[in-house]
Amino acid sequence: MFFLHADTAMSPKITGELLRQLRQAMKNCKFFSEPIQAYIVPSGDAHQSEYIAPCDCRREFICGFNGSAGTAIVTEQHAAMWTDGRYFLQASQQMDNNWTLMKMGLKQTPSQEDWLISILPENSKVGVDPWIIAADQWKNMSRALTSAGHSLVAVQDNLIDAVWMDRPERPSTQLRTLGLEYTGISWQDKITALRAKMTKRKLTWFVATALDEIAWLFNLRGADIEYNPVFFAYAIVGMNTIRLFVDLKRLSDPALREHLQLDSPSKPELSIRTFPYESVYTELQAICAAHSPKDRVWICDKASCALTQVIPKANRSPTPYTPLCLAKAVKNAAEIRGMKVAHIKDAVALCELFAWLEKEVFSLYTFRSIGGSTRFLHQQKDFVGLSFPTISSVGPNGAIIHYRPLPETNRTLSMNEVYLIDSGAQYVDGTTDVTRTMHFGTPSAFEKECFTYVLKGHIAVSAAVFPNGTKGHLLDSFARAALWESGLDYLHGTGHGVGCFLNVHEGPCGISYKTFADEPLEAGMIVSDEPGYYEDGSFGIRIENVVLVVPAKTKYNYRNRGSLTFEPLTLVPIQVKMMSIELLTQKERDWVNDYNRTCRDVIGAEMERQGRKEGLEWLIRETQPIV
């Protein structure tokens, strides 16, 4: 699954009155010394999370569009919302006529900066909440506006909150501790490794703001944000101190206190001082005030502008990826073991689901009424929940890249249409994310042709051999070459990093034409491989595996650099019925047969162990080799 968020309500939100109130607030000098002519509503929270809690869904509140990516800008006359190709259809259905949809990635679409510059009166002020805009975005936007005679101003009170009457509270769920059998490394060792990197870079403080990095660092998980096992917190690590900012009510559980050694730290430098979540600003201010002028603070350049600007510029050391992000991306042996176990369980549940769907396709059940993909997932050991809302779509809904079944657009399963399911789950031992496209009847020649191009792309990435040090974005075109040759393409990236019982999307690696600042792929990293093709109004195709970066054996070894390739962790058969075999090379046919046989061997054994006869029969039928 490639970046997605929340339910897809298909009737537009009526926003006329809300916009009127927001524009009123923009003129209200209670919020800023002078009126502002435009207000930017980014989609993130104060941690630049991709998935956000209901209290942070401000962009959705103001415009109705609830995809994972999008920025709304409201001026006195206009309201516009930028999103990318995954969401063009969805956004156009969710927003009313007050809004202009800005289709990012198309040549004719202006950037937010260019658009603002083209419509604003001279010397305009553009406002934004500094807590929910990243420092690097602030900088770029500010520079562009300044160069055109305007200015970007930080509006401390969020103007959406000011007009949002029934805004939900910030969640504070129970925290879960993870033992070494899952994490492989204790939080104390992670702190020590972090400090070693700080010493090497001559940095004295590290500020952690990304929720998954904080969860990973302390070997804790929460449930504050749906699908992402994280909790609202900040952390500031010095060479001898550790400060954790979190709702203090959460810290009463004795097992948790023991895990964090809150009452009896083993060493003073591993003693955690806890503070209320909200006090991070004042505490960081105090640290900076007590600073020696040479102290340097490491902070992600994607951290909020508000928190970044607390640190005097001379003491700031911004980094595109934090040391935690980089360490977290390379999974250790315990994490890889866990991810493999999770993917086996996940495949068992999916095969069961498919066997069941195939049988029930005639009874016209809707996907929701059958309990969705959790029907079988929850039977698996250590299942925690979904890692994103399941995408289960038939026919034309599949062309809405992140369609989610809803009563008003539900189509019943049918023998005559392409079925696409993108499902992911959280288990205590790992996170999964898999997409399969199938047909329960007879696919058309065009559907098969497109599926086969997508499959060729999937294989081209999965089987690619590349030198150590290669960045993932250099593999993106492999996934597209077969589609391009026929004049086809898909408007999303090919792969994203996957966390281990953490966020289903994580940096710093990925496979996308859009990124360049991705870090080189390394053995132990885990990414998705998910090319697709979407024919508006007809069908959607995507084939997604989660794959592990592993060393590759090659005939030669140029400059002793070593080579890498991918090992699929996802082991769910790819439907042969959807393939135009004649379009596959012998190598590609061999890959399909090898892959489906591995699914049969590994998942079959687990199904037998679990006594799941129906799924096993389906699995064996679906993994017959092609010739």
Q: How far apart are CA 448 and CA 581, in angstroms?
A: 9
Among 14-22, 62-70, 392-400, 558-566, the segment contacting its own copies (CB under 8 A):
558-566
Residue 171 or 467: which CB sits closer to its own copies? Answer: 467
174 binding its own copies? (CB under 8 A)? no
Q: Does 563 participate in binding its own copies (rule CB under 8 A)?
A: yes
Binding mask 469-498 for its own copies (x = CB under 8 A): x-x--xxxxx-xx--xxxxxx---------
CB 398 within 8 A of CB 540: yes
**What track of x and - describes contact with its own copies for positions 181 through 220 (by CB under 8 A)?**
---------------------x------------------
Contacts 24+ apart (CB under 8 A), 484-488: 485/453, 486/449, 486/453, 488/450, 488/453, 488/533
Q: Helix (H, G, I), strand (E, B), or coil: what is residue 292?
A: coil
Q: Which of 256, 341, 236, 257 is nearest to 299 (CA)?
A: 236
CA distances from 230 to 50, 234, 280, 301, 380 (A): 12, 12, 18, 21, 22
Query: Does residue number 558 form part of the binding site for its own copies (CB under 8 A)?
Result: yes
Which residues lie across from 245 on neighbouring strands? 234, 275
Is residue 146 involved in binding its own copies (CB under 8 A)?
yes
Does the protein bind its own copies through residue 326 (CB under 8 A)? no
| Binding flag, residue 294, its own copies (CB under 8 A) | yes
Q: Which of 169, 556 has the CB closer to its own copies?
A: 556
User: Contact at 8 Å (CB) between 343 and 571?
Assistant: yes
16, 30, 107, 445: residue in contact with its own copies (rule CB under 8 A):
107
Stretch that binds its own copies, among 15-23, 73-81, 209-217, 459-467 (CB under 8 A): 459-467
* Residue from the set 14, 255, 465, 605 that interacts with its own copies by CB under 8 A: 465
Q: Check residue 513 for interaction with its own copies (CB under 8 A).
A: yes
**Does residue 147 touch its own copies according to CB under 8 A?**
yes
Q: Does 296 bind its own copies (CB under 8 A)?
A: yes
Q: How far is the CB of 305 from its own copies (least distance, A)?
A: 18
Q: State the minimum distance, in angstroms, from the CB of residue 204 to its own copies.
A: 13
| Pick 7 or 489: Cβ nearer its own copies | 489
Contacting residues for 487 by C-beta, under 8 A, at least 6 apart: none
Residue 357 Cβ vs its own copies, minimum distance, rounded to whole Å: 30
Q: How far, in Å, CA of 67 to CA of 49, rounded?
A: 13
Q: How far is the CB of 561 from its own copies (least distance, A)?
A: 7
According to DSSP, the residues that pair with 551 across neighbouring strands are 564
Element (H, E) at 236: strand 234-238
Q: Cβ closer to its own copies: 489 or 608?
A: 489
Name which of 257 and 296 has its Cβ closer to its own copies: 296
Q: Which C-beta is closer to its own copies: that of 106 or that of 620?
A: 106
Cα gap 460→454, rounded to integer Å:
10
Q: Which uninterrupted H or E stretch holds 528? A: strand 526-529
Q: How far is CA 109 from the centre of its chain?
A: 25
Minimum distance of its own copies from residue 210's CB (angstroms): 22
Q: Give me the least distance between CB of 513 and its own copies, in Å please.
A: 6
Which C-beta is closer to its own copies: that of 184 or that of 493?
493
Least separation in angstroms between CB 454 and its own copies: 13
Alpha-carbon distance of 143 to 54, in angstroms, equals 32
Contacts of its own copies in 537-556 (CB under 8 A): 554-556
CA distances from 566 to 108, 524, 545, 592 (A): 37, 10, 10, 15
Residue number, 440 or 466, with CB nearest to its own copies: 466
d(CA 509, CA 518): 5
Number of residues that bind its own copies (CB under 8 A): 40
Check: CB of residue 479 under 8 Å from CB of residue 460: yes
From the number of C-beta atoms within 10 Å of its C-beta (0-12, 13-18, 19+), residue 92 rates as middle
| Residues engaged in binding its own copies (CB under 8 A) | 107, 146-149, 202, 294, 296, 314, 316-317, 464-467, 469, 471, 474-478, 480-481, 484-489, 513, 516, 554-559, 561, 563
